[in-house]
Amino acid sequence: VLSPQLTIDDPTIQERFITEGRTAARLDHPNVVKILDAGKVNNYSYIAMEYCDSVVLDKALEVKKALEPIQVIKIAIELSKVLHYSLENFSLIHRDIKPGNILLTKTSKVKLMDFGLAKIMNEPDKHQTISGKLYGTLYYMSPEQIIVSNSIDFRADMYSFGATLYHLLTGNRPFE
């Protein structure tokens, strides 16, 4: 549930939140956290999703510092499958690939979540603002996403994918 307090400073947050739910609900892939419903009731926006008994990879990095190479290879394979699926079937780019958006379930299945910044290629970007706000996580963003985010393509996700794998393997972000 999105707190109504969050929309006071930025009313577009509610729209992005519901868009995330509707965008992710279109994706039917074993490596995506399944969205069951999204909507608004009174002043509350919500996203109902599958329960995943899992750990978020950024939390795993806090404990372990770096993951074992074989585990990172498995994560890379599964994550690449979902990125390929979303691009091939929906021309969708995630735009926020990072350890904090990747779950590792108790059965070692990788699940990608948080499609709040997802964009269909060659469509106008509804969430790029003129106010100077930048959406995403700088540590993992490609340079072109920072400079001209409305015209990026799948290569921005590939950059973030690589930066994420680097962080998982080394315990350090590529750039601070």
Q: Considering 96, 114, 125, 157, which one is annotated as catalytic?
A: 96
Active site includes 9?
no
Q: Which two tokens stand for residue 77?
A: 């394979």
Q: CA gyration radius for the chain?
A: 16
Would you call 129 helix, strand, or coil by DSSP? Answer: coil
Q: How far is CA 30 from CA 61, 135, 172, in A?
A: 23, 27, 28
SS3 track for 5-66: CHHHHCCHHHHHHHHHHHHHHCCCCCCECCEEEEEEECCEEEEEECCCCEEEHHHHHHHHCC
Q: Which residues are catalytic?
A: 96
